[in-house]
């Protein structure tokens, strides 16, 4: 085992092929509507990381279309765009329920911000656990508050730790997102983020490469020569460093980021996901290493 990947986990868990249905739940973001900021994170586009989803359709219709196109044995309903716990509990339940009408859906995954998790929301999400598997995805990106301010994240890392604690107490697994290549960050900052993530005992981790997408604040920085993306070799090396230090029982849900077609400005290597994944595997093999080899439990 080089790393504990999601596809293997799902096959073991459910005994078949599990597909993912990406859903635009019609939510906004407190970092866009003025509650904690405007403009969103510097890398986030106008569709809130869901540029490939047709959010004009009702939730149920989005799910129906996805089911009609796929031939998987089961499905994960993944609320992806923006902040999918940013509403009152009644609204959240109504929108989640709209997606969960089909018995083939075996899991509910909810992407959100840590500052939009509280006890009431956690209780609501936990109530689905008797029907199907549930997890919440938290967009941390970096444990550095300096970086958080630079990327306009809108909350401090202590908020992430509190959200992870609330979810854990309610029996809800969480998946944490980390981005490699953020402005001003090097190896030390990235590995510190891994340590912070490990301390929360996550169910999963998503590793993203930072790509420059047209129409974002990061694109403006890039075009003004204020930001330079990492090279492929730099990204691959850092990703291997991260994998070596992630808790061995954590499921790695992804290893790179995907920019929608026609929107990528840089880096050019981001266009070929398969080549990036192959390079990461080759690096792990060259090092004769695997996930968790350099993991050290917290006291």
Give 46-95 as a DSSP string. Answer: TTSS-TTS-TTS-HHHHHHHHHHH---SEEEEEE-SS-TT-S-HHHHHHH
pLDDT of amino acid 130? 95
CA separation for the pair 135, 173 (Å, rounded): 5
| 122: in domain | yes
| 39: in domain | yes
Model pLDDT for residues 184-226, shown as the tens digit of each residue? 999 999 999 999 999 999 999 999 999 999 999 999 999 999 9
CA separation for the pair 19, 22 (Å, rounded): 10
Model pLDDT for residues 221-231, shown as the tens digit of each residue? 999 999 999 99
Average pLDDT over residues 88-93: 97
Range of the domain at 89: 6-209+231-256
Helix (H) or strand (E) holding 178: strand 174-180
Give the confidence band of 51 by pLDDT, cuts at 50, 70, 90.
Answer: very low
Average pLDDT over residues 33-51: 71
Please report, for the domain that includes residue 169, its CATH number.
3.20.20.70
pTM score above 0.75: yes
Average pLDDT over residues 118-147: 97
Tokens in use for 110?
């909810």
| 216: in domain | no
Does residue 106 carry a pLDDT above 50? Answer: yes
pLDDT of amino acid 48? 41
The more confidently predicted of residues 269 and 36 is 269
How many independent structural domains does the chain possess?
A: 1
Mean pLDDT across the chain = 94
| 296: in domain | no
| 218: in domain | no
Does residue 53 carry a pLDDT above 70? Answer: no
Please, what is the end-to-end C-alpha distance for the chain in angstroms? Answer: 26
Tokens in use for 119?
């006890």
The more confidently predicted of residues 76 and 259 is 76
| 246: in domain | yes
């Amino acid at each position: 085992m080089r790393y504990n990947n999601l596809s293997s986990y799902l096959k073991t868990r459910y005994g078949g092929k599990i597909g993912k249905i990406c859903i635009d739940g019609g939510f906004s973001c407190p970092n866009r509507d003025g509650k904690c900021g405007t403009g969103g994170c510097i890398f986030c586009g106008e569709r809130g990381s869901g540029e490939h989803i047709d959010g004009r359709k009702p939730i149920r219709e989005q799910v129906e279309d996805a089911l009609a196109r796929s031939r998987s044995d089961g499905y994960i309903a993944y609320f992806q765009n923006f902040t999918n716990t940013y509403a009152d509990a009644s609204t959240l339940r109504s929108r989640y329920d709209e997606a969960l009408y089909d018995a083939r859906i075996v899991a509910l995954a909810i992407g959100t911000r840590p500052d939009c998790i509280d006890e009431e929301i956690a209780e609501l999400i936990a109530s689905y656990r008797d029907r199907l598997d549930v997890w919440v995805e938290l967009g941390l990106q970096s444990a550095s508050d300096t970086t958080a301010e630079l990327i306009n994240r809108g909350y401090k890392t202590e908020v992430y730790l509190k959200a992870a604690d609330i979810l854990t107490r309610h029996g809800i697994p969480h998946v944490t997102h980390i981005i490699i290549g953020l402005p001003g960050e090097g190896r030390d900052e990235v590995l510190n983020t891994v340590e912070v993530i490990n301390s929360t005992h996550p169910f999963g981790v998503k590793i993203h490469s930072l790509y420059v997408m047209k129409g974002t604040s990061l694109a403006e920085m890039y075009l003004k020569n204020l930001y330079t993306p990492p090279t492929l070799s730099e990204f691959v090396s850092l990703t291997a460093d991260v994998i070596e230090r992630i808790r061995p029982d954590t499921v790695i849900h992804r290893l790179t980021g995907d920019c929608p077609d026609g929107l990528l400005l840089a880096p050019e290597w981001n266009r070929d996901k398969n080549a990036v994944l192959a390079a990461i595997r080759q690096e792990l093999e060259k090092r004769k290493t695997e996930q968790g080899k350099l993991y050290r439990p917290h006291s």
